[in-house]
């Protein structure tokens, strides 16, 4: 019976962590999210050795709801991380294009300077 209570308690803790991860993702606090993700993964590791079944249907229902909520939260975190990755890709591409423009402009300026010295 104690193991069953521990299982529900651990899953509730993971749910709370997944909610915090989602909040951080929504707020765009990516560094904090990465730090909390380590805590989340350690909490998930603590669940693995616990029994996966519960004898009481009410407990099974609670566990199922908790797991569904965790999966939903983590799915949303992943979706927000994908959006963030797209933004970062765009910024990197803009930076690359800007460097190419600057390099090309620098070459044109150098050539103009050289031509100006010849005259």
**pTM for the whole thing?**
0.76
The domain spanning residue 48 has which CATH number?
1.20.58.380
What per-residue confidence (pLDDT) applies to 116? 59
The total number of structural domains in the chain stands at 1
Would you write out the chain's pLDDT as a tens digit for each of its 119 residues? 677 788 889 999 999 999 999 999 999 999 999 999 999 999 999 988 877 677 778 888 988 999 999 999 999 999 999 999 999 999 998 888 888 777 777 666 666 566 555 55
Query: Could you tell me the residue range of the domain that residue 110 belongs to?
Result: 2-118
Question: Do 17 and 39 form a contact (C-beta atoms < 8 A)?
Answer: yes
Question: Do 55 and 4 form a contact (C-beta atoms < 8 A)?
Answer: yes
Instruction: Write phi, then psi, for 84 (nearest 5 degrees).
Output: -65, -40
Question: Do 74 and 21 form a contact (C-beta atoms < 8 A)?
Answer: yes
What per-residue confidence (pLDDT) applies to 57? 83
Question: Do 33 and 21 form a contact (C-beta atoms < 8 A)?
Answer: yes
Q: DSSP labels for 6-71?
A: HHHHHHHHHHHHHHHHHHHHHHT-HHHHHHHHHHHHHHHHHHTTS-S--SSHHHHHHHHHHHHHHH
Residue 67's nearest CA partner among 94, 93, 44, 99 is 44
What per-residue confidence (pLDDT) applies to 72? 98
What per-residue confidence (pLDDT) applies to 7? 86
């Amino acid at each position: 019976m104690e193991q069953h209570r521990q299982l529900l308690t651990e899953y509730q803790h993971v749910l709370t962590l997944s909610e915090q991860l989602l909040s951080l993702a929504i707020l765009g606090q990516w560094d904090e999210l990465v730090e909390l993700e380590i805590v989340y993964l350690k909490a998930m590791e603590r669940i693995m050795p616990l029994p996966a079944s519960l004898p009481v249907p009410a407990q099974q229902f609670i566990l199922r709801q908790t797991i569904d909520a965790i999966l939903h939260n983590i799915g949303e975190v992943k979706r927000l991380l994908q959006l963030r990755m797209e933004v970062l890709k765009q910024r990197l591409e803009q930076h690359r294009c800007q460097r190419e423009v600057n390099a090309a402009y620098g070459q044109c300026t150098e050539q103009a300077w050289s031509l100006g010295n010849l005259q």
